[in-house]
């Protein structure tokens, strides 16, 4: 017989998830703290500016973060009217992993298709995935704007690699992954409202 769930179980989960997102920490390339609202506004400006100047937004992630990357590339393109791409084609990934090693599956694609003025959104729950870190290095070398999203340990190397870095202080995969998805959606939703209303910041609309 199925046991009865404790009262407030889901409320507690949702509260913890909301707290994880609400307390996200943003820092710039120099490690300087940035208010979260200002960091999201920076991401909105960067995403829109990238598209308006003819560039594209590139999403990279592994596992659950790869699913976020595909989801967001679709939504940013279809709903946001921005050129967006996730590097998740199976044939390409297996080819590059076989020929160069899995740590280069994203970096090589950025070498092939990345251009100065593009924007890379690098997503890793641990912030330690070698292939995500390699992608960031290549993107920076090419002159791309870089936004990182990470979690788990506060000293993870991805957290200091982007022009803007969003960090979620949680050890739980579920909270970090859902939090990253929520932040990506917030950037898109604010960007859409900004584009539709002509206001500088949808976050203040």
What is the average pLDDT value for the chain, to the nearest integer? Answer: 93
For residue 145, is pLDDT > 80?
A: yes
Residue 122 burial (CB count, 10 A): 28
Mean pLDDT within 22-43: 97
Q: Could you tell me the residue range of the domain that residue 116 belongs to?
A: 23-204
Q: Which residues pair with 165 in a beta bridge?
A: 27, 148
pLDDT in tens, 93-109: 999 999 999 999 999 99
* Confidence check: pLDDT of 197 > 70: no
- Asked if pLDDT for residue 205 goes beyond 90, the answer is no
Region 175-193: mean pLDDT is 96
Residue 56 lies in a domain: yes
In-domain check, residue 103: yes
Overall domain count for the chain: 1
Residue 15 domain flag:
no
pLDDT level of residue 199 (50, 70, 90 thresholds): very low
16 is a domain residue: no
Q: Is residue 9 part of a domain?
A: no
Q: Is residue 88 part of a domain?
A: yes
DSSP letters of the chain? -PPPPPTTHHHHHHHHHHHHHHT-EEEETT--EE-HHHHHHHHHHHHHHHHHTT--EEEE-STHHHHHHHHHHHHHHHTT---EEE---HHHHHHHHHHH-GGGTTHHHHHHH--TT-EEEEE-SSS--HHHHHHHHHHHHHT-EEEEEE-SSTT-GGGGTSSEEEE---S-HHHHHHHHHHHHHHHHHHHHHHHHH--S-GGG-
The residue-averaged pLDDT of 138-151 equals: 98
CATH number of the CATH domain containing 129? 3.40.50.10490
Tell me the per-residue pLDDT of 109-140, one tens digit each, with 9 for 90 and over: 999 999 999 999 999 999 999 999 999 999 99
Find the mean pLDDT for residues 163-188.
Answer: 97
Q: Confirm whether 193 is domain-assigned.
A: yes
148 within domain boundaries? yes
Q: What is the mean pLDDT of residues 152-178?
A: 97
């Amino acid at each position: 017989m199925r046991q009865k769930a404790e009262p407030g179980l889901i409320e507690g989960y949702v509260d913890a998830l909301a707290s994880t997102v609400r307390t996200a920490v943003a820092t710039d390339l120099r490690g300087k703290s940035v208010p979260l609202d200002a960091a999201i506004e920076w991401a909105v400006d960067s995403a829109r500016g990238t598209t308006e100047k003819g560039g594209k937004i590139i999403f990279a992630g592994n596992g659950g973060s790869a699913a976020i990357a595909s989801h967001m590339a679709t939504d940013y393109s279809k709903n946001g009217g921005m050129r967006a791409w996730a590097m998740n084609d199976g044939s390409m990934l297996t080819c590059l992993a076989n020929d160069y090693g899995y740590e280069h599956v994203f970096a090589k694609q950025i070498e092939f298709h990345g251009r100065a003025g593009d924007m890379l959104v690098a997503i890793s729950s641990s912030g330690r995935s070698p292939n995500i870190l390699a992608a960031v290095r290549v993107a920076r070398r090419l002159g791309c704007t870089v936004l990182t999203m990470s979690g788990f340990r506060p000293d993870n190397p991805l957290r200091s690699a982007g022009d803007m870095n969003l960090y979620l202080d949680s050890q739980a995969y579920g909270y970090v992954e859902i939090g990253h998805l929520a932040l990506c959606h917030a950037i898109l939703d604010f960007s859409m409202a900004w584009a539709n209303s002509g206001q500088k910041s949808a976050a203040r609309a």
